[in-house]
Structure 1
């Protein structure tokens, strides 16, 4: 139960859990303390702000408009936003912080504290989505899913939810599943001449329905690793949960979703 309560719990609303209310109350207290005791801005803080501002300017001026080329034209399209980000990140390891001799704005000991597993996961997901687009796989899959064009309006959400919820069982990351599925659903929606959110929202939400396998999502891995949960236990509970989730999503999307998103 706890394994499934983790992704389903009341994290999305302020009153969903007592922890959310505690967090807001404590955060307000922290903000009051900060406002009353802020120190002067240090040289290192000014430089970090300047470097980040420089990064934003480079992003915005790499290509101004389709008619007005930016500085990226000098590199014949070989430099992207990622290249700019890496270059500016290197500056943090070069510029001194003026606190101690030889210290820079960033050093490797501090850099290692970053959540690299999350950064690499998200980066890999975006790279996967870009690869699906540039390789033409998105078009191939869109054509393979042309049968959805003949699906009645009320059956679109169940079909998409079922597809996304099955895919997410075999990818150990809901984020990666959503990153892969959502661009495909957008292209399929254009092919079907329907509102993209009619496919994208159920596809994204259903990617959270990873209830069947131990490796489907990190929370399942943690629960299974305790040794007190067997695969058959997950299947007994996960199958009804998945069916219930798809059913609720299939009902709400054409009704409440239609009112909210005007689809």
Structure 2
């Protein structure tokens, strides 16, 4: 059985429990309570398992349910309530709406429409694919978006190869295919940061903010900060990728044929169906409600949060009939139950861990220890945090990275007499900006499997974007964040 684990997993299986036991038996550091030491031990155990992936990531997230009560940190009831955090219901509702869009191919129609309208040459076609991918990944999981976009892109890449006589080209030798695939992978990650439902680190930030600091992040308030960050990164990423196309010259006829291949994909879908139209209306109403909640004060709805709006939208989809399915509805439970429950459990584990940090006094202890950094310029601290989180995310799940770092970053900010968001927000943004390796994000892995990219090409382009993201996030967090959140 031991041989079924990789070397990395074996290290985690041994190192995690050793760290856990060491933290429990070692003398307490000055000022740390016994409860805080026990929470730290659990955090080290979970970190070792998450980084090594010795145990499935969601399974590790369930450890606090037993360990916190067993170590007398929090009761079972106080621990498990975090797995039903309202942010989890925001994600559940959002996922159900997204699944309805996928069920009726609305997401594909939206993507193809954008590409047809934008794409006029290879550079603009790249921009069209990136815009469509980023827009969809704001509302649909990055993985699902990439999986939907890659086949569309592959059809165009294969047609281009025939025109350029590159049918037998080696992996990575087609600059158009290389740029298009990297554009899809990177745009899926970049677009996801724009909304609270776009990527798990954003939701984890919102949940920890509510659990530890009793601060609600309103959907539209997050967009006011994250959309500029996402748009800036998308534009810079497109600029970097389109440089790979500088030697790709096509005649007007060749450009027309590329556009025609996308238009043909859209025409094959036929006219928009009633089901697509109804799902679009429900989605539009939910998105509008999320945005209006941050703009208009409704006294009668003061207790209605973003999660309640998401769940209402999902409920409506269950009661609107679908003409194409006799006796069916826009969303049924057989479809809805396929939402990624692993992400929901992972976020719950993160919220439980954050609650343990707060209840045990570990957050306060960390804040006191980190106060030694008060003499360092704050911009340098932001940049260091962002760079560290980005490169750690290259090796482990972005959700796990966010779960481990966001509470610590909040403590660091408080130790410097700053709002906890001053470092929590840049850490959350950075957790979605890993571009170097196929294992960093599911979109990276999906496009790498297309055999259009060599790993060295992804790494060389990705490290440039990692550094660009460090600058963009640091600047926006330092200058724009204080004006918004």
TM tier relative to shorter chain: 0.5 to 0.7
Q: With the length of structure 1 as denominator, give the TM-score of the two structures.
A: 0.54
Bigger proportion of residues as helix: 2
Measured in 2, the distance between the counterparts of 1:140 and 1:29 equals 48
Give how far 1:112 is off: 5.7
Task: List aligned pairs for 1:5-24, cutoff 5 A.
Answer: 5-9=187-191, 12=194
Check 1:223–1:143 CA distance in 2 against 1; reply closer, same or farther (3 A cut).
Answer: farther
Matched, 1:210 2:210: no
> Residue 120 of structure 1 corresponds to which residue in structure 2?
345
Kept after mapping to 1: 8 A contact 2:190/2:433: no
Which of 182, 185, 197 is 1:3 aligned to?
185
Which of 383, 387, 397 is 1:162 aligned to?
387
Which of 149, 159, 163 is 2:374 aligned to?
149
Check 1:228–1:151 CA distance in 2 against 1; reply closer, same or farther (3 A cut).
Answer: same
Measured in 1, the distance between the counterparts of 2:438 and 2:335 equals 34
Measured in 2, the distance between the counterparts of 1:159 and 1:243 equals 11
> Residue 198 of structure 1 corresponds to which residue in structure 2?
422
Give how far 1:250 is off: 1.7
Give how far 1:246 is off: 0.9
Q: Deviations over 1:200-247 (max 9, x none)?
A: 111111111111222111112222233333321121111110111111
Task: List aligned pairs for 1:75-114, cutoff 5 A.
Answer: 113-114=338-339
Kept after mapping to 1: 8 A contact 2:367/2:414: no
Q: Deviations over 1:96-130 (max 9, x none)?
A: xxxxxxxxxxxx97896453233233234335545
Measured in 2, the distance between the counterparts of 1:151 and 1:191 equals 13
3-state SS, counterpart of residue 215 of structure 1: coil
- Between the two structures, name the one with larger relative contact order (CA 8 Å, sep ≥ 6): 2
Kept after mapping to 1: 8 A contact 2:406/2:428: yes
Measured in 2, the distance between the counterparts of 1:141 and 1:212 equals 31
Q: Stretches of 4+ moved more than 4 A in 1?
A: 27-31, 108-112, 127-147
3-state SS, counterpart of residue 170 of structure 1: coil
Give how far 1:199 is off: 0.7
Give how far 1:155 is off: 2.1
Give how far 1:161 is off: 1.1
Measured in 2, the distance between the counterparts of 1:157 and 1:232 equals 29
Give how far 1:143 is off: 6.7
Kept after mapping to 1: 8 A contact 2:193/2:432: no
Check 1:137–1:236 CA distance in 2 against 1; reply closer, same or farther (3 A cut).
Answer: farther
Kept after mapping to 1: 8 A contact 2:438/2:444: yes
- Greater shift, 210-219 or 150-159, is seen at 150-159
Check 1:5–1:113 CA distance in 2 against 1; reply closer, same or farther (3 A cut).
Answer: closer
Q: Deviations over 1:169-227 (max 9, x none)?
A: 2212x222222211111111122212212111111111111112221111122222333
Measured in 1, the distance between the counterparts of 2:348 and 2:339 equals 14
Measured in 2, the distance between the counterparts of 1:186 and 1:216 equals 24
Q: With the length of structure 2 as denominator, give the TM-score of the two structures.
A: 0.31
> Residue 104 of structure 1 corresponds to which residue in structure 2?
none
**Uncovered stretches (5+) of structure 1, i.e. residues with no partner:** 17-21, 32-107
Measured in 1, the distance between the counterparts of 2:366 and 2:446 equals 33
Q: Deviations over 1:147-180 (max 9, x none)?
A: 53221133232122112212222212x2222222
**Uncovered stretches (5+) of structure 2, i.e. residues with no partner:** 1-181, 195-222, 232-271, 283-332
